[in-house]
Structure formats: C-alpha cells, structure tokens
Amino acid sequence: MVQECGTERIAGCQFNLSVMSDDFAEVILGALDQVDTSKVWKETDDVSTCVRGRIEHVFDVVQGIYLEAAKTGKHVEMSGTFSIGCPGDSSGDAYVEASPERLNAPSKDIQQKAGCKFALYPMNTTNYMDVIYEQIDLSKEAGVTVSPAHYATRLDGTVPDIFSAMESSFTKVQEAVSHTTMTFTISANSPSNS
C-alpha cells in the first residue's frame, strides 16, 4: 500500500470510556448519542470509539462525550490517543472541510472537576524534549494545576479547562511537528477524592 499525506490534515482521537457502575453500557451509549457528532467521522465498536476531523471538532466531541458521562455523577474514566499527520491517515473525507464553529461548546458554568494525565509525542524530531517542556510551561497559564508525573504531566481542574489545555498543547505542537500524537487519561467523581 502506498502511504502518503492527503492535502488536508485530518486529526483524530481513539478513546474509550469506562464507567464504574452496573449501568455502564447505558452511560457509554447515552453519552455517545447525546453529543452532536455531525462534523466528525465516527466509528464505535466493542473496544473504543474513533472520531476524525478538524482538530477543534475532534476535541469538542471527545470533551462533550466525557462531560455527558461525568454529569451522571458516576466514577467515569476516559483514555485515548489523539493523532495528526499520521502518514497512513490520508484524508479523502469531507469532514476536514467542516466550518470551524463548535457544536458542543460547554456552558461557562460547568464546574465538573477531574484529574488528568497526558503525554505528548512529537514524532520524528530530535528536539522533542524541548517541544514537550515548552507546552508543559504553557499549560501552567491555562487555569489548571500542572504537576509532573512519570511518563506524563498531570492536570487538575475543571473538565473544560483540562481539555482546553490539552487542545492548545496539541495544536501548538502539530504546527511545529507535523506528525504528533498525544495520550491522555481523565478521571472524574473518583471515590478516592471523597
């Protein structure tokens, strides 16, 4: 197979939700159903969900799904990988042409707290540690508490502030390093915090 970049840069996220409750299936399927995904390509199977499209819509949808699940008050965790510029992910899809307005922007009064660990992987660049440290420093201005963790950086704050910090890191890094991936795990309503 010939792998080459498409003319548009399509971003994506492969993620799964885990709900620590007997009715996990309803919470997962309900969250997937309640978010407007019309500006992204989406596929769900028994393991995870993948969304692809413009960076802002990928983050908008992933955050929207997480907020829907977290507002049940149940202990919900989401883990995933964002990626852009993967040589095998040539576009061909109409979703990169979507207009930039977000469809699921959270209201300003959302105070849902969460803890998150994220890790940036700028691919195929020798100065990757500089690129990563620059973003960790910028995260400190994003309204979240930033702390070091093994193999990751921890962000604590509201869900919208956490996703916004991750989106700005990812967006800035991919401007400099065309193939960039980022992993994350976010947890809310954990009984460890009560």
Q: Which residues carry a binding-site annotation?
A: 17, 49
Q: Smallest gap, in angstroms, from Cβ of residue 58 to ligand VIB?
A: 13
Choose the binding region for ligand VIB from 35-43, 47-55, 113-121, 136-144 (rule: CB under 6 A). 47-55
**Separation in Å, CA 48 to CA 10, 57, 61, 79, 81:** 19, 18, 14, 10, 11
| Cβ proximity to ligand VIB, 29 vs 105, nearer residue | 29
Residue 43 near ligand VIB by CB under 6 A: no
- Answer yes or no whether residue 22 interacts with ligand VIB by CB under 6 A: no
Q: Which residue has the tokens 């709900």?
A: 19
The one segment of 44-52, 100-108, 171-179, 183-191 that binds ligand VIB by CB under 6 A: 44-52
The CB-of-13 to ligand VIB minimum distance in angstroms stands at: 10
- The strand pair at 145-149 and 152-158 is best described as antiparallel
| CA atoms of 147 and 183, how far apart (whole Å) | 16
x-marked contacts with ligand VIB along 114-133 as a string, rule CB under 6 A:
--------------------
Residue 28 makes contact with ligand VIB by CB under 6 A: yes
**Alpha-carbon span 73 to 190, nearest angstrom:** 9
Give the three-class secondary structure for 175: helix
User: Tokens standing for 163?
Assistant: 């996703």
Residues annotated within a binding site for thiamine: 17, 49
3 state SS of 117: strand
Measure the CA–CA gap between 46 and 114, rounded to whole angstroms: 25
Shortest Cβ 103–ligand VIB spacing (Å): 18
Chain residues binding ligand VIB by CB under 6 A are: 15-17, 25, 28-29, 44, 46-49
